[in-house]
Structure 1
């Protein structure tokens, strides 16, 4: 089993023994070469692992090699077993051969099972081919665009709830070259939502009355009557697909893709990656039994991370929005590839059950490469379309589009400006939650001691928010400075 072909050489079958050993040596050399090429480059391996042809090839290769290897083991025993042999030798030899074959079959079976799980998950969650029938160009996966927009949706569906509200909606605008990202958070309670002209929603809810519910009800409204309200009723998720256009109309940025995960799905994903580390300034109550996320440096499991991003006890929607932005940052920074691989089955199961997206499978290698760029090189900023810069009850849609356009263009200008970001001090992981910027707060106070925008809005003495992730002002703020 350890050196296939040795038994054949010993029994005088030199041609067969030499051929088997040569093939075995070539396989070992190939495995060593692959290990060197992939060592320290998890992204390269991941890009291969999300392509169906590689997964099917791995499964087929594992099966063929296992069968051939077991055949060599059995034949080695056949040509070397004692003759004549008693019943004990025959039974013992057969048992040993069986054990050795199982030693080969077990890892091969694990490879085949993992490959099938990945293949099944990818084909179930991600579509095939290009978007809207357009072919995928691996050399230019973003079709010449410098930035792409992905709509990130968090829903509250559950066994004890009817339908689903989209309580967390963020539009990620990502620079495909350097990974710089602006997370644009939309409040759940936006009112008088405007729909794209000519859309089915605009026709169903014309002015002056329009849509008479808040923003987080749009998804469920479409889901209840997709034939009448969805732009593409045949889409995998007509409501999410249509919501892309609504958010694009609100922000002025066209979302190419969406990814939707519900509460339980988020919890399972966080558990699968081993939890996340956060710093909590003030205790966060959650649940219905008086549970509390205590202050200090904490390692949160999936359920605790879910409530870190959902709890509104002693806070509000906008504080929760801020923590949700921080959660995205923490997952991007802390998702360890090795941990993801060791928890692959759990992660695949959670993904298949809870993730919905229109990202085509052909785009996954490009997205993995982009994710690595975001994690290692990019800067993540937050723009919250919340008070005081936006009044959810009476939103100024032109102002919202201006805020979004300015945030994206400012980040692009920062990149063109060179290495200004390199001079910024690194935030301390154990520091208390900073305000958006102490320097910015001092500037906002004015030379004559005027109150800041935050003080005018809240009536509080603090010149700026103290809750993690909470951003105030017209400019997008680095998540490194507002997330502890």
Structure 2
């Protein structure tokens, strides 16, 4: 930055303070003013380039929080940005210190030295604090991405930004809700849904699988298939598969080298059982789900009937309610005075509400809280390279997509003796029905893809049985699907 050299004879404390302050706002002014033209010009030029770059970034990201989230999800970019912020902050503070050094009067008295030092410290803090916050955010994002997302998978081609889904028209993701706790052994996946997403239109079919499905078939040729051979297959409920594999991954896991062998195996088991190619899973530990909802500011729901919950006799009252994280957790998990299928219906609603109401601006402004909750709560085998594509898909789903749900529950599915061929047919029909109806603008609010509304519940005038002759004991229970057509979630979740 040039030598200090001979100070101008008119140097005063006031002028030095003003020039130091001005140089903190526009780095290089003090150097230019004191005759160090080359150093001053270089600093001014660098400042102009950085200012223009920052302005371009703001314009690029303004009004597009989803794009900001995509940038946050890129680990390598975060590392480069962190290094750049650190370098700029150090250079800026160096310029501030040097500006005071070259402008202060000489010799300087105690008051001048104290005043100058105080100003320099304050100006450096003004630079360091926001830079530190930016570094902390970048580090937190990088750490969160590393902790939550899985590694690149050798069985998939390299990620292509122009074709992130490798030519696939739908992406199927297994959504698991695990209920662990100090008073429970291991983890049971009491919530299991497959989200089948159309990558062009953003339409979603949620396939809900009851936790008490029995005789689930195991993938052919796997160690699980040998351990639980046909015709009886697995001797526990579907929600026991995860913990069973977790206790003996080397003996039972389809891929014992996976990040989470139990979740990976359950993904493959359910894929074969319902006849869908499930590419990824996402496991949410319900113990921390309330933190996630709090981080996005809570959710608005409609409750038809009061929902009792907890140990103290609390109740979620009927009506339009804004739920905080703890209330949303119980909205999705309570079975008091209801059953598994009612809970399944509310869990589908919960996904719809969060997808529609998770404002990207709120996500960014509550990023630290959300990142911390995400690390504690969520894990997935989605690779880091796909994170940006999934953010784009989530934005498409929340803005344009329609939600339909197919609950594999009684009366159309006998959970004790499920007909897996029939189940695969139900799933195929639900997905095909949604695809046949695209695109259309004359559908109901919750189903912009134009899927037909569900048929009226069978059983009326049929002695309490559906058209197939199966008992329809609770046809009006919310969440219990009656009939084989996938229902619009707007009907179930107003």
Any idea what the Cα deviations from partners look like across 1:166-200, whole Å, max 9, x if unmatched? 10000111111111111000000011111122121
The equivalent of 1:478 in structure 2 is 488
Match in the other structure for 2:455:
440
Superposed displacement of residue 13, structure 1: 2.0
Distance in 2 separating the partners of 1:293 and 1:184: 26
- Structure 2 residue 275 is matched with structure 1 residue 275: no
Q: Does 1:364 align with 2:387?
A: yes
Report if the CA contact (8 A) 1:172-1:183 is conserved: yes
- Output the CA distance in 2 between the equivalents of 1:103 and 1:472: 63
Shift of 1:282: 1.1
> For 1:311, which of 292, 315, 334 is the aligned residue?
334
Q: Paired residue for 2:396, among 373, 380, 383?
A: 373
After TM superposition, the structure 1 = structure 2 runs for residues 8-407 of structure 1, keeping only pairs within 5 Å, are: 8-132=31-155, 134-407=157-430
TM-score, normalised to structure 1's length? 0.92
Q: Which runs of 4+ in 1 moved over 6 A?
A: 448-452
For 1:168 and 1:445, the matched residues in 2 are separated by 28
Deviations 1:74-117 (A, max 9, x none): 11101111222211111111111011101101111111111111
Cα deviation per residue 1:19-68 (whole Å; 9 max; x = unaligned)? 22222122111111111111111122221211112101111111011011
Are 2:443 and 1:424 aligned? yes
Q: Is the radius of gyration larger for structure 1 or structure 2? A: 2
The CA deviation at 1:138 is 2.3
Alpha-carbon RMSD: 2.1
Gaps of 5+ in 2: 1-23, 447-451
Q: 1:230-267, CA deviations, whole angstroms, 9 ceiling, x for partnerless residues?
A: 01111111111011111011100021100101112212
So what's the TM-score if we normalise by structure 2? Answer: 0.90
Shift of 1:445: 7.3
User: Secondary structure at 1:170's aligned position in 2?
Assistant: strand
Residue by residue over 1:422-461, the C-alpha shift from the partner in whole angstroms, topping out at 9 and shown as x without a partner, is: 223437xxxxxxxx96x8328x578x8997849984456x
Distance in 2 of aligned mates of 1:52 and 1:459: 52
- Contact kept, 8 Å, 1:130 with 1:362, in 2: the verdict is no
Greater CA drift, 308-317 or 46-55: 46-55
Aligned residues: 465
1:409-420 residue pairs with structure 2 within 5 A? 409-415=432-438, 418-419=439-440
The match for 1:430 is: none
1:465 is matched with 476
Question: Compared with structure 1, are the counterparts of its residues 149 and 53 closer, same or farther at alpha carbon in structure 2 (3 Å cutoff)?
Answer: same
The 1-side partners of 2:464 and 2:248 are apart by 49
